[in-house]
Structure 1
Amino acid sequence: MSELRFTLADVAGVRFAVSPANETVMSMWALSDPVRYAVHLSWIDRARATLRRPEVAVRVRPLVELTLPRRWLPDFLTPAARPGAGMAEQLDQIAATPPDVVVQDLLATLPSRPLSPFGSALLADPRGLLPRLVDAVRIWHDEAIGPDWPRMQALLDADVAHRAAQLAEGGAGRLFEQLHPSLRWLGDRVVSDDPFERDFDLRGRGLALNPGVFTDRRVLWNLLEDSLPAGAYPVRAVGRLWERAPAPPGDPLARVVGAGRAALLHLLETAVTTTDLARLTGMSAGNVSQHLTALHAAGLIARSRAGRHVLYRNTDVGAALLRAARGA
């Protein structure tokens, strides 16, 4: 069990960001355990084919060795993401890790498993071998994550908008109590039901929270004394990530409102952005907007704003129509 202790400045400093580096690194876990990550099977099949290409395999090998099953990740590989940070900026963060921090983070993983051959070599020569590791992360992102990144980012952005609204409406207590079942908010601290046994004082630095496509069972903390504290938590509605046709064949609702609008109603049982809907359905953003305007005018969906995001969700009338169609 871990505890994160907050000051008022830390509560005010809670912020959300999407981390392409986290997704790139943690995606390796899915390759080694497809049963656990069954929701990503379509991506796993493509990614494994990519990793079998000799020119990719040899360059990605350092990352593979540091993300083997049942091994803790060295914290420097998953730096806290700042809002708007892209993959290039996060790669620069990893590349700028001081050698003593690389050594410290590698040694911290030893309770889980002994170091791999590359891990041992990196421990002995962090300055010389860190560029090879950064190159491995870059290649894996370009080859395996990049082609699907717009779809992943849409889901992650929608989660950030939802959590930001929770924080604005209900404060830190509501946010952390609903972020994950393993978390409890005790007024001045978060208690996390995990095996890491950390007792960490944020000391006014705030906390970066990153939703994760490949973060599945618990919140993973990145708590260093000399960098921004961060936590990666499982993204909402990850089962929708690879959906293309949410409306079932022969959907009776489609015969009434049209296939496109029916598809959107099936997806709007939770709040979703226009961008997310376009990625999930394959429709253009303009086409999605037209359908949303018609559904909103008919009273079937509602819209709300969370920061720079506009979220859409079924109204009670829309939900009742959807239930009736599914029961037909």
Structure 2
Amino acid sequence: MSELRFSLADVAGVRLAVSPVNETVMSMWALADPVRYPVHLPWVDRARVILRRPEVAVRVRPLTELTWRGCPLPDFLTPAARPNVELAEQLDQIAATPPAVVVRDLLSTIHRRPLSAFGLALLADPRGLLPRLVDAVRVWHDEAIAPDWPRLRALLDADVAYRAAQLAETGAGRFFEQLHPSLRWLGDRVVSDDPFERDFDLRGRGLALNPTVFTDRRVLWNLLEDSLPAGAYPVRAVGTLWEVTTPPPGDPLARVIGPGRATLLHLLAAATTTTDLARLSGMSAGNVSQHLAALHAAGLVSRSRQGRHVRYRNTDAAGVLLRASGAADPVG
């Protein structure tokens, strides 16, 4: 069990952001243990093909060896993410990790599992070998994560928006207890039901919270005295991540207005954002925006703003079209 102690400044300093590095590094867990991550099997099948390419395998090996099944991650490899951070910025942060911190973080993992060959080499020469590890993360992101990043990012951004609204509406106590079933708020601290046994005072530095697709069972803490405290928590609705929604086979409406626009009408029984529509449909955000503009101009969808987000929904006219084409129960 872990405890994180908050001051008023820490409560005010809770922030939510997406971490491209987290998704890249933690994706290796799903690759190493697909039985534990069945929802990601469509991605795992593609990623395994990528990793079998010799030119990829040799460059990614440093990352593979540090993320074996059951391996705890050294904290420097998953730095806290700030809002709108890009992968390159996080890689620069990892590359700038002082050698003493690399050694400390590696040693902190050996109580769970011995270091791999690369881990031992990195322990002996952190300054010389850290660039190889950074390159491995970059290559794996470019090869295995970037093709699906719009879909991943849409799900993560939607979660950040949802949690931010929740924090503003309910306050820190209720927010943390809704963030994950393993968390409890006890007035001035978060108690986490986990095996890590940490007692950590945030000391006014706040807490970065990063949703992640590839964490499934608990919140993972990155709590160090010399860096921004962070927690990676399981994203909501991960079961929808690899779904691609299309009109029913032979849908008459798709033949009239096109499959892309018909797909969106089938999804817009409830108010939905562009990012969520991109994730659910498998289309790019740009294509979704173009289709929505056409549908809005035709009077088939309405739009409303809620905070920073614009949500779209079918109009009555769209409902008439869906019913006329035989879609009496459009997907919501």
| Superposition TM-score, scaled by structure 2 size | 0.86
- C-alpha contact (below 8 Å) 1:277/1:288 kept by paired residues: no
Corresponding letter in the other structure for 1:90: Q
2:184 equivalent to 1:180: no
Write the mapping of 1:69-84 to structure 2, written as runs, cut at 5 A: 69-84=69-84
CA distance in 2, matches of 1:104, 1:326: 55
User: 2:205 aligns to what SS in structure 1?
Assistant: coil
Q: Counterpart in 2 of 1:305?
A: 306
Corresponding letter in the other structure for 1:305: Q
Q: Counterpart in 1 of 2:103?
A: 103
Deviation at 1:108, TM superposition (A): 0.7
Corresponding letter in the other structure for 2:221: W
| Superposition TM-score, scaled by structure 1 size | 0.87
Relative to structure 1, is the Cα distance of residues 2 and 263 closer, same or farther in structure 2, using a 3 angstrom cutoff?
A: farther
Q: Deviations over 1:192-235 (max 9, x none)?
A: 11110111100000000101011111111110100000011111
Q: Counterpart in 2 of 1:227?
A: 227
Of 265-274 and 212-221, more deviation after overlay is shown by 265-274
User: 2:42 aligns to what SS in structure 1?
Assistant: helix
Q: Deviations over 1:109-160 (max 9, x none)?
A: 0111000010011111111110110011111011111111111111111111
Relative to structure 1, is the Cα distance of residues 270 and 121 closer, same or farther in structure 2, using a 3 angstrom cutoff?
A: farther
Deviation at 1:55, TM superposition (A): 0.4
Gaps in structure 1 of 5+ consecutive residues: none
CA distance in 1, matches of 2:103, 2:135: 19
Relative to structure 1, is the Cα distance of residues 311 and 219 closer, same or farther in structure 2, using a 3 angstrom cutoff?
A: farther
User: 1:325 aligns to what SS in structure 2?
Assistant: coil
Paired positions, count? 317
User: 1:97 aligns to what SS in structure 2?
Assistant: coil
2:292 equivalent to 1:288: yes
Deviation at 1:174, TM superposition (A): 2.2
Q: Counterpart in 2 of 1:13?
A: 13
CA distance in 2, matches of 1:265, 1:188: 47
Deviation at 1:266, TM superposition (A): 6.4
Q: Counterpart in 1 of 2:213?
A: 213
Q: Counterpart in 2 of 1:121?
A: 121
Relative to structure 1, is the Cα distance of residues 261 and 146 closer, same or farther in structure 2, using a 3 angstrom cutoff?
A: closer
CA distance in 1, matches of 2:314, 2:209: 27
CA distance in 2, matches of 1:269, 1:63: 43
Of 3-12 and 182-191, more deviation after overlay is shown by 182-191
User: 2:3 aligns to what SS in structure 1?
Assistant: strand
- C-alpha contact (below 8 Å) 2:17/2:83 kept by paired residues: yes
Deviation at 1:278, TM superposition (A): 2.5
Relative to structure 1, is the Cα distance of residues 239 and 54 closer, same or farther in structure 2, using a 3 angstrom cutoff?
A: same
CA distance in 1, matches of 2:198, 2:185: 16
Relative to structure 1, is the Cα distance of residues 326 and 148 closer, same or farther in structure 2, using a 3 angstrom cutoff?
A: closer
Q: Counterpart in 2 of 1:88?
A: 88
Q: Counterpart in 2 of 1:203?
A: 203
Corresponding letter in the other structure for 1:85: V
Deviation at 1:7, TM superposition (A): 0.5
- C-alpha contact (below 8 Å) 1:173/1:185 kept by paired residues: yes
CA distance in 2, matches of 1:165, 1:4: 22
- C-alpha contact (below 8 Å) 1:74/1:109 kept by paired residues: yes
Of 279-288 and 166-175, more deviation after overlay is shown by 279-288
Corresponding letter in the other structure for 1:288: L
User: 2:204 aligns to what SS in structure 1?
Assistant: coil
CA distance in 1, matches of 2:236, 2:246: 17
